[in-house]
């Protein structure tokens, strides 16, 4: 795994295990479902990462045979060193906050992140996507005459996706500058929470526009 993606995965592991200890299967499920990290995440990538973090003293391994008597499972728990690293990581935007995978992880950790850092992460991401958008517009303009209709449509689709995300980031930045999100209130007992009119945005879809 490339260095940037490895760092994003380690940060995601720290964030997920800060909630509670998990064994490998549960951890992978949380990383894929809750965080939306990477399109796929194989155990061949996850377990070497966990072993590396155990060796660094950021995680501990515990045999869970008392919890899972029919099958031994290793449960991973965040150590004080791991919590200290997580606190340090979320205290600044980092060098790669604009990258697809790291941004997805960092936004999943926004409830642990200070307002000023949240704003910087969003601004870094918007600048990165705006540069990508400008580059893509230039390429389309230069190559339009050589593209067939289907290739041009594909390029336009990617362009539209980038424009939507840049606009969404602008909305997020404006909201952060106005005080951030208000914590959701639980619905009255026996009633259903009304559906929001805003479309649901999955971190798995963030930054997946064609380039």
pLDDT of residue 181: 80
Q: Is the pLDDT of residue 161 over 70?
A: yes
- For strands 74-78 and 22-23, give the pairing: antiparallel
User: What backbone phi and psi angles, to 5 degrees, belong to 205?
Assistant: -95, -10
Predicted confidence band of residue 4 (pLDDT cuts 50, 70, 90): confident
Share of the chain above pLDDT 70, in %: 78
> Range with the lowest mean pLDDT among 38-42, 64-68, 93-97, 110-114?
64-68
Q: Is 78 exposed, middle or buried (0-12, 13-18, 19+ CB in 10 A)?
A: buried
* Inter-CA distances, 14 with 36, 73, 84, 174, 193, Å: 15, 19, 10, 29, 31
pTM: 0.78
Q: What is the mean pLDDT of the chain?
A: 84
pLDDT of residue 211: 42
CB count within 10 Å of CB 16 equals 24
DSSP bridge pairs for 75: 23, 62
pLDDT of residue 37: 61
């Amino acid at each position: 795994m490339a260095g940037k993606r490895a760092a994003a995965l380690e940060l995601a592991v720290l964030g997920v295990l800060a909630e509670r200890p998990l064994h490998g299967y549960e951890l992978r499920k949380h990383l894929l479902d809750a965080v939306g990290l990477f399109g796929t995440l194989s155990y061949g990538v996850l377990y070497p990462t966990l072993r590396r973090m155990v060796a660094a003293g950021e995680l501990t391994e515990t045999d869970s045979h008392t919890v899972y008597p029919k099958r031994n499972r290793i449960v991973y728990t965040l150590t004080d060193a791991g919590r200290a690293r997580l606190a340090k990581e979320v205290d600044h935007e980092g060098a790669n906050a604009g990258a697809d995978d790291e941004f997805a992880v960092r936004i999943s950790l926004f409830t642990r992140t200070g307002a000023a850092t949240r704003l910087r992460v969003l601004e870094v991401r918007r600048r990165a996507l705006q540069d990508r958008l400008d580059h893509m517009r230039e390429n389309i303009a230069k190559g339009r005459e050589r593209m067939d209709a289907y290739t041009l449509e594909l390029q336009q689709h990617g362009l539209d996706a980038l424009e939507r995300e840049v606009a969404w980031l602008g909305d997020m930045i404006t909201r952060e500058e106005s005080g951030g999100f208000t914590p959701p209130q639980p619905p009255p007992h026996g009633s259903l929470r009304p559906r929001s009119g805003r479309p649901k945005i999955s971190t798995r879809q963030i930054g997946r526009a064609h380039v």
